[in-house]
């Protein structure tokens, strides 16, 4: 029997050639080798032919030996849907090819997913949350295949009814799939190995614009503004993308806007939205510039602003959307 841990990667190449005897081992262990960044696994094996239990050694190669750059842009199309575009680069200092990336999003239209040639994609419900798992992976099934160091790839996109927020893309490098020629390590080590190889641990995180703010049909300004407020307070603040002083001002403005929407006071609602967008423009003069430029989402800017530029662009887009919808309903 061949044991294979729960590793969700597209790369293959069984690790039999990395399994060898470990004559000096005295207990089953998983130890990080700082010189390589790999994990050395010592375990008591089983020779299926003779019944002997030799000590074996295997190597788990993490999929994190990459330095990826993620760029994203988002725009409203003629059907009123938000189109999200992504471009990825595998920096030249990476030690692995980039084999794929994924994100948990609030909503995405499966049939709208654009997939570059040589890649595969999927839009499926996540098993552990109420979110949608958006995934792209390199289509070839040989170890080491993927986006080589120094190369970049665009052409990834998807449409969504929901508005953008800041979320995490998780990118992974191409590695051999870990497998054993016997039952593998004991349960304790197997659990540890599954933890190390889980999608959240065995990947490199980068921030990007993703579908995140619920946008119900029929349109409800209170619901959308409530989602924006929660995202700013819970997510942008915890990601340290916004200064506490500006956060307080924006939170106060959103609270007043929600109250105006609840009371049906359209002039007051539009006034609050205008003031909120003015706060963002004071931080980034081009925050409302709709020129389709790619946003650098992984390397945070060193210039001091009270809010990260991508976060400001996302927030301004959402507020502008609410503004347009409210004006449209008023007309």
Quote the tokens at residue 323. Answer: 């503004």
The string of pLDDT tens digits covering residues 178-207 is 888 888 898 999 999 999 999 999 999 999
Which segments of 170-294 does DSSP mark as H helices, in order?
187-196, 221-230, 237-238, 244-262, 266-283
The string of pLDDT tens digits covering residues 257-288 is 999 999 999 999 999 999 999 999 999 999 98
Taking residues 55-71, report their average pLDDT.
94
Instruction: Calculate what percentage of the chain has a pLDDT beyond 70.
Output: 86
pTM of the model: 0.88
Q: φ and ψ at 12, to 5 degrees?
A: -130, 180
Residue boundaries of the structural domains of the chain: 15-63+176-196, 68-175+203-210, 216-330
Quote the tokens at residue 48. Answer: 């299926």
The string of pLDDT tens digits covering residues 67-112 is 999 999 999 999 999 999 999 999 999 999 999 999 999 999 999 9
- Mean pLDDT for the chain overall: 88
What per-residue confidence (pLDDT) applies to 33? Answer: 95
The string of pLDDT tens digits covering residues 201-256 is 999 999 999 999 999 999 999 999 999 999 999 999 999 999 999 999 999 999 99
- Tell me which DSSP letter residue 215 carries: -
What per-residue confidence (pLDDT) applies to 304? Answer: 76
53-67, 112-126, 139-153, 309-323: segment of lowest average pLDDT: 139-153
Taking residues 4-16, report their average pLDDT.
36
Tally Cβ neighbours within 10 Å of residue 34.
7
Task: Write down the CATH superfamily of domain 68-175+203-210.
Answer: Uncharacterised protein YcnI-like PF07987, DUF1775 (2.60.40.2230)
What per-residue confidence (pLDDT) applies to 46? Answer: 77
C-alpha 84/C-alpha 158 separation (Å) is 5
Reading phi first (left if > 0) and then psi (alpha if -120 to 50, else beta), residue 269 is in alpha
Quote the tokens at residue 127. Answer: 């098993």
C-alpha 329/C-alpha 217 separation (Å) is 13
pLDDT beyond 60 at 297: no
Confidence of residue 175 (pLDDT cuts 50, 70, 90): very high
What per-residue confidence (pLDDT) applies to 1? Answer: 32
pLDDT beyond 50 at 298: no
């Amino acid at each position: 029997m061949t044991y294979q841990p729960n590793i969700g990667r597209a790369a293959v190449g069984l690790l039999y050639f990395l399994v060898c005897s470990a004559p000096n081992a005295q207990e089953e262990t998983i130890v990080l080798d700082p010189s390589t960044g790999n994990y050395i696994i010592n375990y008591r094996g089983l020779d299926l032919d003779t019944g002997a239990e030799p000590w074996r050694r295997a190597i788990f190669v993490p999929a994190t030996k990459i330095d990826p750059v993620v760029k994203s842009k988002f725009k409203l199309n003629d059907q009123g849907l938000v189109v999200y575009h992504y471009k990825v680069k595998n920096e030249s200092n990476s030690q692995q090819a980039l084999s794929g990336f994924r994100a948990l999003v609030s909503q995405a239209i499966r049939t709208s997913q654009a997939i570059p040639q040589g890649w595969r994609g999927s839009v499926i419900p996540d098993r552990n949350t109420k979110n949608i798992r958006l995934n792209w992976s390199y289509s070839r099934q040989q170890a080491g295949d993927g986006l080589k160091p120094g190369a970049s790839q665009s052409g990834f996109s998807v449409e969504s009814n929901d508005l953008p927020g800041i979320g995490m893309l998780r990118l992974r490098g191409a590695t051999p799939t870990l497998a054993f020629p016997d039952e593998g390590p004991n349960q304790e080590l197997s659990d540890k190995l599954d933890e190390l190889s889980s999608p959240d641990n065995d990947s490199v995180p980068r921030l990007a614009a993703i579908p995140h703010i619920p946008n119900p049909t029929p349109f409800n300004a209170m619901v959308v503004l409530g989602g924006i407020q929660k995202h700013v307070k819970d997510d942008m603040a915890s990601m340290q993308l916004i200064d506490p002083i500006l956060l307080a001002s924006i939170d106060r403005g959103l609270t007043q806007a929600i109250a105006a929407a609840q009371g049906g006071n359209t002039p007051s609602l539009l006034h609050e939205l205008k003031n909120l967008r003015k706060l963002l423009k004071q931080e980034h003069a081009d925050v409302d510039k709709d020129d389709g430029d790619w946003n650098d989402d992984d390397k945070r800017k060193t210039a001091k602003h009270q809010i990260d530029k991508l976060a400001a662009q996302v927030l301004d887009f959402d507020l502008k959307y609410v503004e347009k919808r409210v004006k449209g309903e008023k007309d």
